[in-house]
Structure formats: C-alpha cells, structure tokens
Amino acid sequence: MPQPTVPQPGAVQGHDVSIALLKANDWAARAVREQMARHGVLMLNITSSAGSGKTLLLERTVAALKDEFRICVLEGDLETERDAERIRRHGVQAVQITTGTTCHLEAPMILQALERVDVSQLDLLIVENVGNLVCPAGYDLGEQSRVTLLAVTEGDDKPRKYPRMFLSTDLVVLSKADLLPHVPFSVDAAIADVHAVKATLPVQVVSAHTGEGMAPWLAWLRDQRANARAGTAAVQLPARATSAAPALPAVPLAH
C-alpha cells in the first residue's frame, strides 16, 4: 500500500495482507481438491445473493438424487443451523459452518468441516456459500465446479454489475422462474448480460418451487458427477493464488 507523502500524527498505516490470505486459502483449496479427486467425489460451490433460493433448490436436489448418490451438504451462514436442518429433514448429512461476521466461506473452513465427514463414502459434496455476489468470487474452495444463482426478483442486470462472480462460475441458474409473470425481469436480457461477461457460460431457467427446469439441472449434475468419477472434472477453477503457505491457522466453527 502506498505510504502517505507526509505522515500524519497519530495515523496508523495499514498493510495489504490480502495476497498472504489468498496464498493460505489456495494451499487449503488444493488440499480439498486433492481429497475430492482421491475419492472421485464431485464438489460443487453454490453461490448467489442472499434470498435467491439456494436452499430450496438444494432441498429439491437432494430429495431427487439421494437414492442415486451419497450426498453431503456444507451450509455456510453467519449464524444459525436453519439451512442445515432443512437439508437433514431429507435424510441427507449436512454440516453447518457459521462464519460470524465473515461474508464468505474460505477453504480452511471447508477443511475443518470435512473432519466431520467421511469423504470416502460420498459421491457428491455440495457447498452452499454465504449469500453474497462479491466476496465469495475471490475464494477457491477446492470445488470442481461453481454454480451461481440469479433470482428473477433481483433484476436482469446483475452479471455485468458483479462480473467477477460470473467470470468464475461454470453454470448460471436463473432461479424463482415461477415469479417471472410478476416481476420486471427479462430472461433474454439476463442471458445477454451473462454472455457479455463470459460468452460460453451456460444458463438454465429453474423454479425449485414448481419443478420447472429441474430435469436439465439434475442432468447437468449427473454429467458433472460422471466427469468427477472419471477423474476428469469438466471445469477446473483456476487457483486464485500460486504460492503455497507453509501453515494455516485454525478456523473455529461455532457448531
């Protein structure tokens, strides 16, 4: 960080530590990714704004696939176990990660949560990130694929306003499609905005409430799972940093 030309009395000059933090995160993300690859597990990172319908989509997803795949969900929120409890009601393991004041999940948190999970007994690990279109974009969690939800209630102009998230995403789901008749949202405009950021990014239109679009979504998941099992995940997210950190501080989980 540039130093002030004239030091001010009583001023504290902060130093940019973001690079060091990302190096540590990158080290942990590689450890997570290696663990998934070793057992042929598909790991997804589901991102979006708060209130986009991630948890309902996951409820419908685990209900549809739990007899086909061995599934675990890691739920990220600032407080409470509410979302994990919703997943557990479907007979699927869910581990809640509470971040306190942190607006995103980080790879060391995933590593700590995985201490409670037998990865060798899984086919699919889904991470529901903290609701936020900004900070989660910068943190690789070790996932094979990242999915971003954009609810039709949010407006169709978000991809170009939050490009980093959509650049790092492998699939966009336009969620809450059953509300399209009631909100000023253009699917065509949203898709155009997505492709202005990343021309090859696939987009699906889904309503977890009515079931519209669930079949293509589940088919995409099955394809990703087949790729992971073959050891050739369709999309490998690039690491956000390239140098490994020698050690990581523990990240406490509240639950």
pLDDT tens across 205-219, in order? 999 999 999 999 999
Looking at this protein, which amino acid is placed at residue 237? L
Q: What is the pLDDT of residues 151-191, one digit of tens each?
A: 999 999 999 999 999 999 999 999 999 999 999 999 999 99
- What sign does the CA torsion over 51, 55, 59, 61 have? positive
pLDDT on residue 239 = 39
Token pair belonging to 4: 């002030």
Better pLDDT: 221 or 9: 221
Estimate the share of the chain in helix, then strand, then coil, as percent rounded to the nearest 5. Answer: 40, 15, 45
Alpha helices by DSSP H, the chain: 18-39, 54-65, 82-88, 107-113, 158-161, 163-167, 187-197, 214-229
pLDDT on residue 47 = 97
Q: What is the mean pLDDT of residues 114-118?
A: 95
Q: Please state the separation of Cα 30 from the chain's center in Å.
A: 16
Work out the pLDDT band at 243, boundaries 50, 70, 90: very low
The domains located in the chain, with CATH, are 41-229 (3.40.50.300)
Q: What long-range pairs does 79-88 form, CB within 8 A, spacing at least 24?
A: 79/254, 81/255, 83/55, 83/128, 86/55, 86/59, 87/55, 87/58, 87/59, 87/62
Q: What is the mean pLDDT of residues 50-72?
A: 97
Backbone dihedral region for residue 46 (phi beyond 0: left; psi -120 to 50: alpha; all else: beta): beta
Enumerate the β-bridge partners of residue 71: 124
Tell me: pLDDT of 246 over 60: no
For residue 123, count CB atoms less than 10 angstroms from its CB and return exposed for 0-12, middle for 13-18, buried for 19 or more.
middle
Tell me: pLDDT of 247 over 80: no
Residues 6+ apart with CB under 8 A from 34: none
Work out the pLDDT band at 19, boundaries 50, 70, 90: low
* Distance (Å) of CA 133 to CA 162, 190, 201: 7, 15, 17
Better pLDDT: 39 or 241: 39
Nearest to residue 254, comparing CAs of 101, 67, 141, 142? Answer: 101
State the Rg of the chain over Cα: 19
Q: What is the mean pLDDT of residues 70-83?
A: 94
Work out the pLDDT band at 229, boundaries 50, 70, 90: confident
Better pLDDT: 233 or 25: 25
Tell me: pLDDT of 12 over 50: no
Tell me: pLDDT of 24 over 90: no
Rounded distance between C-alpha atoms, residue 245 and residue 65, angstroms:
37
Asked which of 21-25, 106-110, 127-131, 184-188 is least confident by mean pLDDT, the reply is 21-25
